């Protein structure tokens, strides 16, 4: 009888936990961290890193292909693995800096179907005085088609990218040229920020 009551409490607690908390997100994040610990570090900070994935049942939406939000979730884990293996997060922590996502934009080119395998390729494309800019591509394993492309602005809080990279690489690191499409996106973010500040009356308060 006691065992049944304990089992009932365990099942009820598990149901409550999984129903109110995104347990799988944190379990997977822990798995990504553990796996990175057993992989060799990557010394080239501009190197493209590849994470392999497959569309499973819990990734599906009503259209029977990968849910739009799942792309962003997969990118989250891929960036975590990327920053861990090149040592970016450890360098930022040593300098008492933190990094948060400031903006993302994603272009969906072709949907990923149930059971379809893909590569998620992540790389740093550039940086400025405040942020790193990363590109992430979903590439179908069946024919190499780029199914989706995401740009991510990763803001550095209480620090700057150049200091983090110099601490990590022990030398000055030259920033790659910012591509034309990335320049357009950065200008869009700046214009959007200025418009929202003006709408909130922040410009008047800070003059």
pLDDT in tens, 2-13: 777 776 776 777
Crossing angle of helices 23-37 and 68-85, in 10° steps, is 30
CB 112 within 8 Å of CB 137: no
Q: Would you give the end-to-end CA distance of the chain in angstroms?
A: 71
What local confidence, expressed as pLDDT, does residue 150 receive?
A: 97
Could you report the per-residue pLDDT of 92-121, keeping only the tens digit for each? Answer: 999 999 999 999 999 999 999 999 999 999
* Domain 45-191 architecture: Roll (3.10)
The pLDDT-based confidence of 37 (bands split at 50, 70, 90) is: confident
Average pLDDT in the chain: 90
The pLDDT-based confidence of 206 (bands split at 50, 70, 90) is: very low
Instruction: Delimit the domains of the chain by residue range.
Output: 45-191
What local confidence, expressed as pLDDT, does residue 204 receive?
A: 52
The pLDDT-based confidence of 207 (bands split at 50, 70, 90) is: very low
What local confidence, expressed as pLDDT, does residue 73 receive?
A: 95
Mean pLDDT of 145-174: 94
Neighbours of 53 (CB within 10 A): 19
The pLDDT-based confidence of 1 (bands split at 50, 70, 90) is: low
**List of residues 6+ apart from 91 with CB closer than 8 A:** 164, 165, 167, 168
């Amino acid at each position: 009888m006691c065992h049944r009551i304990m089992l009932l409490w365990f099942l009820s607690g598990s149901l409550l936990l999984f129903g109110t908390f995104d347990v799988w997100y944190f379990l997977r994040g822990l798995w990504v961290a553990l796996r990175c610990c057993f992989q060799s570090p990557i010394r080239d900070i501009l190197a493209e890193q590849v994470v392999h994935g497959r569309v499973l049942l819990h990734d599906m939406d009503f259209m029977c292909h990968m849910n739009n939000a799942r792309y962003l979730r997969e990118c989250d884990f891929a960036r975590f693995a990327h920053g861990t293996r090149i040592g970016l997060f450890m360098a930022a922590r040593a300098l008492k800096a933190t990094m948060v996502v400031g903006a993302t934009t994603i272009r969906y080119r072709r949907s990923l179907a149930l059971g379809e395998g893909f590569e998620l390729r992540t790389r740093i494309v550039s940086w400025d005085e405040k942020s790193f800019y990363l590109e992430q591509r979903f590439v179908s394993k069946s024919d190499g088609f780029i199914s989706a492309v995401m740009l991510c602005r990763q803001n550095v809080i209480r620090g700057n990218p150049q200091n983090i990279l110099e601490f990590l690489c022990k030398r000055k690191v030259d920033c790659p040229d910012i591509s034309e499409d990335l320049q357009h996106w950065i200008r869009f973010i700046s214009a959007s920020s200025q418009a929202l500040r003006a709408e909130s009356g922040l410009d008047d308060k800070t003059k």
